[in-house]
Chain A
Amino acid sequence: MEFINLDISHLDDVIELQNKQDNYMGVPKKDIDYENYFNKEYWELWLTDPNHQMTGYFKDGVLKVMMGIYYWKLFPYTTLGNHFADPTLGFKGMMLNADIMAHCCEEALKRGHVKSYIFNGRAHVDQKRRKRYFGRFEKRTNGKWTHKTEEIIPAFQMTKWKGFKMIAGMRAWPMETVIRSLTLNDEVQ
């Protein structure tokens, strides 16, 4: 499976995949100001700025899965976000997301970034699927990254930690969310 780095020439593909979603992290789009958040300027930034990188997987010329890497400036860390899959893929899309996350961690490591943060809704994926998702990621990366639950944020509350505010989108969410990290594990190198 080949993941490719997306650039501004992929803007329409990215917007098309994003438009296929009917929810974000399990919350209906209308409840979270979705259209204003993921607007054209947002994607232009992600596709052109050197501290942002979008990666995607195409099948038959159609973008099926994508994920973004934001490179921090203060620490050798990244935030992984914008993980969207074509809804028609169902659970297979989630597994492809695990694959693309493994790819993104490796991309980040090429630039010396040893830790990546991810932010998710907690309830829209059940425990069994979540385990399969991270199990797939671990398999793809040979256990190279240590998974850590950094904070579970109750619905309608902000994160307790200033340093996590950007990761959580600088806002409270109408559902329980979780901040996780994946840290390079030197023991297995």
Chain B
Amino acid sequence: MNSTSNLTHRVLEYKDVEWVTELAKQQVKHMGFMKDDVGFDDTMDTKEYWEDWIVGENKKTYATFKDGKFACLSSCYFWGLMPYATRKNAISAPGLGFAVRSIFPNHEKYCFDQIFEEGRVKIYMASNYDMYDYVTHPKRRIVFENFNKLMNESWTHCIEEIVEPGQMTKWKGFQSLTGYKTWPEKIMIKSWTHKDYGIH
């Protein structure tokens, strides 16, 4: 059976806070880095943190399920300044293996569509630069090929800034994206802009 069949998606609710917190605690990595290597902030594994991201003001967390079992999730913060959003907290189920290559792009597509439905035309995210380096890591290419296939019809992407190891972002507006801290490896700040059809 195709790994993207029987996928369902939904916005998480208060009843989901407990299991999501437990899931977060089990993760050994954060943004693709070992938690211990990046001075991971333990408050991000608490019930309060996830309650805020699941039912807090201007925030939502979206999840995807395969055959009814959790596959992956990610959260979104809706900006107050401009019609934009930040996507963060991406987590996938332990043991998902290669299926993540097709399921995660589907999950992202669902999230982006939901965020656009909320009137947001641009989505920002900060990532471990190395995770996008499919020149050095060619196996990763398939994830991005699947992702681009799904996204390119409606969204275009822009690399806003590459933050060097041990340095802060040059831009105050991006500090919340990078957690107001420096990182031991390169961080990439990307945005996705929803495409217009026609000039209004």
Interface residue? B127 (CB, 8 A): no
Beta-carbon contacts of A49-88 to B below 8 Å, as 1s and 0s?
Answer: 0000000000000000000000001111000000000000
A147 to B197, CA, bound (A): 9
Is there an interface contact between A114 and B160, defined as CB atoms closer than 8 Å?
A: yes
Question: Would you call B174 and A130 a contact (CB within 8 A)?
Answer: no
- Evaluate contact between A146 and B199: CB separation under 8 angstroms: no
A186 within 8 A of B: yes
Give the contact stretch, choosing among A17-25, A98-106, A157-165.
Answer: A157-165
Q: Which of A7-15, A28-36, A148-156 faces chain B?
A: A148-156
Do the beta carbons of A146 and B156 come within 8 Å of each other? yes
Binary contact readout B87-102 vs A (1 if CB under 8 angstroms, 0 otherwise):
0000000000000000
What 0/1 pattern do residues 71 to 103 of B give for CB contact below 8 A with A?
000000001111100000000000000000000
List CB contacts (< 8 Å) of B142-200 with chain A: 152, 156-161, 170-174, 191, 193-196, 199-200
The answer to whether B31 has its CB under 8 Å from any CB of chain A is: no
Are the C-beta atoms of B193 and A183 separated by less than 8 Å?
yes
Whether B38 is near chain A, meaning CB under 8 Å from some CB there, is no
Determine the chain B residues whose CB is within 8 A of the CB of A163 once the complex forms.
79, 81-82
Are B81 and A186 in touch, CB under 8 angstroms?
A: no
How many Å lie between the Cα of A186 and that of B172 in the bound state?
23
- Alpha-carbon separation in the docked complex, A85 to B128 (Å): 45
Q: Kindly state the interface size class of chain B when it binds its partner.
A: 20 to 34
Question: Are A146 and B160 in contact, with the CB atoms below 8 A?
Answer: no
Residues of A close to B195: CB separation below 8 A: 146, 148
- Closest residue on chain B to residue A184 by CB atoms: B158
In the bound complex, residues from chain B placing their C-beta under 8 Å from that of A75 are 160, 171, 173-174
User: Cβ of A142: which chain B residues have Cβ within 8 Å of it?
Assistant: none
* B158, A186: Cβ atoms closer than 8 Å: yes
> In the complex, which residues of chain A have a beta carbon less than 8 angstroms from the beta carbon of B196?
147-149
Residues on B with beta carbons closer than 8 Å to the beta carbon of A149? 196, 199-200
Report A's interface with B, CB cutoff 8 A: 73-76, 112, 114-115, 127, 130-131, 134, 146-152, 161-164, 178, 181, 183-187
**Chain B residues proximal to chain A, CB less than 8 Å:** 79-83, 121-122, 152, 156-161, 170-174, 191, 193-196, 199-200
Q: Decide if B193 touches A146 in the complex (CB within 8 Å).
A: yes
**B residues within 8 A CB of A74?**
171-173
**CB neighbours of B191 from chain A (8 A):** 183
Q: How far is the CB of A39 from chain B (nearest CB, A)?
A: 29
Tell me, rounded to whole Å, the shortest Cβ–Cβ distance linking B143 to chain A: 17
* Minimal Cβ-Cβ distance residue in B for A122: B200
- Specify the chain B residue showing the minimal Cβ separation from A131: B199
Instruction: Give A132's nearest chain B residue, CB to CB.
Output: B199
- Closest-by-CB residue of B relative to A178 is B200
User: How many angstroms from the CA of A149 to the CA of B157 in the assembled complex?
Assistant: 16
CB distance from B48 to the nearest CB of A (A): 28
In the complex, which residues of chain B have a beta carbon less than 8 angstroms from the beta carbon of A187? 152, 156-157
Given contacts A76-B161, A146-B156, could you give 7 more A-B pairs where the C-beta distance is less than 8 Å? A75-B174, A114-B158, A114-B160, A134-B199, A148-B121, A149-B199, A183-B191
